[in-house]
Amino acid sequence: MLFPELLNILRVHLRAIEFCSESTERMDEIYLCIAILCRLFKIMEDPLGGAGADKSTAEKTDKTAVIPDGKMYESTALIKDILDVVTTTQRSQSGEISLKAPSEKVTALKVDLVVDSLTVLWSILHSMSEAHYEKYFASLSKSQLKTILSSLLAIAKTSIGLNLYPELWIVMTMLQLSTITSLHKAVAKPLAAWFTNTGGDEKDSKADSFAPELWQAYLELTLEMIGCDALQLDKFSTRKQTFIQDRYGDMRQSVIDQFPIMWKTLGSKAVQFSGILVPVLFDLASNYPINLKEFAVDIYFQLLCREFDETGQFGEVERHTIDSLYNIANHNQALGETFMHFLFTTLTKKFETHGKLASQGQEFLTHVKRVRIISPSRCFRVSDISLGI
């Protein structure tokens, strides 16, 4: 009964605190608010505090939304405030979103504040169904939506690379990743609906316009999830693999399945993101299992095709291709040679079956190989000698 009132009081208090990175007293106030929120959501998930809850109930709670629809509005209203706390705390030290360890001159209080704030955020988002997400996003103006999506995508990507929880806290780690997986799917709809086309009228609050910074953040989160070490189940024992699969499913595959839909929506605009796509795709194709290798090379090939369809050449993708191949070989020459052979063999087959790109594709591969051979052992950036077929 008091849940909405408590959340509202805490929300108002969070907004009233003038955050100052040098004020321990104010940080204590924020931390206290976050601690209370943590406790509230724990009670919401298990009103009996664990007493009398059987195993099936516990498993159901972990898989489904636990906040009733009538109380979801008050919960989602906190999202922006929690995001503000996390981003302000993270940026206060260096101006960037990065969580540093206490040994790197960040106080333990700051680390606890970020971790606990993120835990509250995951609790809220984990409790939201697809309908909750849609209703929440629809309640925002376009500028508000853009800000929220940007913050959610940035924090989700950053959190994946951080060890927020101790290594043995597998449930918390997987809960975070499953929540980010659901978030990844949820943000796809408004991103595709309102931030895809270049002809949108910004005066119209619901007009469709292209937002490259949001798409870049979405692509970066996608690739970060696909390459996430914690989702490489073969690194776990058989028992842990079974536990993760039964409770959370194959989260990496869920992200891979969602990607082609958004990739098709992005269309030829994908070429402008070659700089972030090519290095990560090559990393996936050179260091991960065969299914990810095939996925990465297929996306890379589509990127080549889109640039050629749009411009009649491979210039932009080619430039990042040569640089990325050098970087791999410079780090591990044997791996670089093995990957280059795999990549060229696979691309040759794809170009041959493509038809109109058969001859141009072969010229592209020959040029890349020639440039790679010219300088195999020193730093060689080739932006200025791209063939531009």
Could you identify the residue written with the tokens 């065969």?
290
Residue type, 101: A
CA 314 vs CA 279, 306, 353: distances in Å: 16, 9, 18
DSSP string, 291-302: HHHHHHHHHHHH
pLDDT score, position 4: 58
What does the alpha-carbon distance between residue 267 and residue 175 come to, in Å, rounded to a whole number?
Answer: 33
Q: How many CA atoms within 13 Å lie on the side-chain side of 27?
A: 20
pLDDT score, position 229: 85
Closest CA to 266 of 208, 197, 325, 178: 197
What does the alpha-carbon distance between residue 45 and residue 278 come to, in Å, rounded to a whole number?
Answer: 42
pLDDT score, position 272: 92
pTM of the model: 0.75
Q: Tokens standing for 203?
A: 């005066």
- Helices 274-287 and 333-354 meet at what angle, rounded to 10? 110
**285 in any annotated domain:** yes
**362 in any annotated domain:** yes
CA dihedral angle for residue 327, residue 328, residue 329, residue 331, rounded to 10 degrees: 80
DSSP state of 78: T
Q: What is the mean pLDDT of each run of 10 residues along the chain (389 residues)?
A: 57 54 54 62 50 39 43 56 61 40 43 72 82 87 90 89 79 90 94 75 57 93 90 84 88 90 91 93 89 91 93 91 90 89 93 86 89 53 40
**244 in any annotated domain:** no
Q: Tokens standing for 329?
A: 């070989």
**53 in any annotated domain:** no
What does the alpha-carbon distance between residue 15 and residue 81 come to, in Å, rounded to a whole number?
Answer: 7
pLDDT score, position 63: 38
Contacts of 313 (CB under 8 A, 6+ apart): 307, 388, 389
What does the alpha-carbon distance between residue 123 and residue 273 come to, in Å, rounded to a whole number?
Answer: 32
pLDDT score, position 317: 93
Q: Number of folded domains in the chain? A: 1
DSSP state of 52: T
Radius of gyration of the chain (CA): 23
CB-based contact 156:220 (threshold 8 Å):
no
Three-state DSSP class for residue 348: helix
**300 in any annotated domain:** yes
Q: How many CA atoms within 13 Å lie on the side-chain side of 146?
A: 18
Which helix (DSSP H) or strand (DSSP E) does residue 75 occupy?
helix 69-76
**372 in any annotated domain:** yes
**195 in any annotated domain:** no
pLDDT score, position 40: 61
**317 in any annotated domain:** yes
CB-based contact 275:320 (threshold 8 Å):
yes
Three-state DSSP class for residue 149: helix
CA 212 vs CA 26, 46, 203, 216, 264: distances in Å: 36, 42, 18, 6, 15
Q: Tokens standing for 386?
A: 């791209």
CA dihedral angle for residue 241, residue 65, residue 30, residue 4, rounded to 10 degrees: -170
Range of the domain at 276: 266-389
Contacts of 152 (CB under 8 A, 6+ apart): 83, 183, 187
pLDDT score, position 387: 38
Residue type, 187: V
What does the alpha-carbon distance between residue 314 and residue 319 come to, in Å, rounded to a whole number?
Answer: 8
Residues 224-249 as b/e (b if ≥16 CB within 10 A, e otherwise) read bbbbbebbeeeeeeeeeeeebeeebe
CB-based contact 188:261 (threshold 8 Å):
yes
* Largest Cα–Cα separation, the chain: 73
